[in-house]
Chain A
Amino acid sequence: MIPAAFDYVAPTTVEDALAALAQYGDEAKIIAGGQSLLPVLRMRLNAPEWIIDLGRIESLRGVRDDGDAIVIGAMTPHVVVGSDPLVAEHASLVAKAVEHLADAQVRHRGTFGGALAHADPAGDLGAPALALGAEFVIAGSGGTRTVAADDFFVDLFETAIGEDEILTEVRIPKRTGWGATYEKFVRVAHQWPIVAVAATVRVEGQAGDRVFAEARIGLTNMGSTPLRARAVEDALVGQPVTDDAVRTAAALAADGTNPPSDLNGDADYRRHLATVLTRRAVLDAAGA
């Protein structure tokens, strides 16, 4: 219940936070909202000597418009992301995923950047970030670099963020007017999904004659990192928005995945779930 003892600093600028990281090296751990880190510390699965709190750095909070992208500050709490009008208009997939992430209390504290940096394969924000082609802005003592979503998720709980670096913001290219759905399959309330599917699509044509112009689909908990269901994306483009066409494309959802087996279900069950949830998510995102 009680973490091992540590020392604590709460810098007010990114520069000071980077300086603290450089000084304490691998004995330090960053805390954002603490909603994943504090349970880890309380179970003594980790015992850093220094905790560097980003909670006092105002510049890391908020959502802003940046032309062809929106930019979400790493320390923006889930509850703010979930109700932000820019997110709703240009990246509605993110808003949908946040809506059922954890519970209200956790959404008040937990942050967008913290959840992505934590890189839990069952976390709800990785698949949407991947599907939307997000870019991760990472600051280090040598300056700032930008990492594409395809290169950000490295392995279980491992990202491209180096030990002496901080994720400062996430750029999400605008997909205005796209439909989006996050289908999350859970066993109990307020928990991580057994499998979830993040789908966002652009549909063209008149009612009765609508076709998929573009589709981007991310899978949660179907491997050690979030994955793109590229076979489904390719199969959907040009197809009519019908139950049959979506069912045929969605059957490819588990291609190239490597889902875990655990008490919630074995790998085969997850593969099946991925196809079912993909069909539901794509149809719903297309408004069908």
Chain B
Amino acid sequence: MTRISLTVDGASVSDDVEPRLLLVQYLRERLGKTGTVIGCDTSNCGACTVHLDGTSVKSCNVLAVQADGAEVTTIEGLARTVGGDDGLHPVQEAFRECHGLQCGFCTPGMIMQSVDLLKNNPKPTEEEIRLGLEGNLCRCTGYHNIVKAVQHASGQAEVTA
């Protein structure tokens, strides 16, 4: 067992964990943060994307011990990073407005990656959005409304969904 202490969605947490525990398991199984989901076995799908010290990572491909001392933001704590504790983050709002989801399984990862993308590039082109989300797979929507949601969140598209 290894002792880890980190901040998750604004709360300080400290636990003894097995070194082999993946960050995504720690979030879901220890902290009950089931908003972050697991969609694959190969680190391809991006459904498990969270922010680790401010940048997006696939939490199925990070050990919990590697996050010792770090600050983690999950989809559940995203809204509080912009002040509203119970409201939605503007990117969450844009996905709702543009119907950027069907089953919703890829959505937590899509939103976390979109927020990272917009942080580095506040006015991305459609091509830049598609490239920026290339590590996130959606089985349902064909990406059309996802791309539109990101354009909308960046103030570049009318809502037409």
Contact = CB atoms under 8 A, between A and B. Distances in A.
Interface string B1-12: 010000000000
Contact of B46 (A10, A41, A43, A105): A105
Contact of B22 (A2, A6, A103, A109): A2
Interface stretch (B59-67, B84-92, B151-159): B59-67
Contacts of B101: none
A1 B57 CA distance: 17
B127 interface: no
Contacts, number: 81
A270 B54 CA distance: 40
Interface in A79-121: 79, 102-106, 108-109
Contacts of A190: 44, 134-135
A50 to B, nearest CB: 9
Interface in B41-67: 41-44, 46, 49, 52, 55-58, 60-63, 65-66
A161 interface: no
Contacts of A260: none
Given A79-B55, A109-B57, A103 B62 contact: no
Given A39-B42, A104-B116, A104-B132, A8 B65 contact: yes
Contact of B49 (A38, A43, A105, A189): A105
Contacts of A35: 43, 61
Main secondary structure of the interface of B (DSSP, over half): mixed
A2 B25 CA distance: 10
B55 A34 contact: no
Interface residues of A, number: 30
Contacts of A102: 135
B46 A34 contact: no
B113 interface: yes
A55 interface: yes
Contacts of B66: 31, 34, 53, 55
B62 A34 contact: yes
Contacts of A109: 57-58, 61-62
Given A1-B41, A39-B61, A53-B65, A103 B46 contact: yes
Contacts of B116: 104
B129 to A, nearest CB: 12
18 contacts: A2-B20, A3-B20, A5-B19, A8-B65, A31-B63, A34-B66, A38-B62, A38-B63, A43-B41, A55-B66, A103-B46, A104-B113, A104-B117, A104-B132, A105-B49, A106-B58, A109-B57, A109-B62
Nearest to A3: B20
Nearest to A55: B66
Given A39-B42, A53-B66, A190-B135, A6 B20 contact: yes
A103 B133 CA distance: 8
Contacts of B38: 1
A19 to B, nearest CB: 19
Contacts of A4: 20
5 shortest A-B CB distances, which residue pairs? A103-B135, A8-B19, A189-B134, A190-B134, A3-B20
B135 A105 contact: yes
A101 B20 CA distance: 26
A109 B67 CA distance: 12
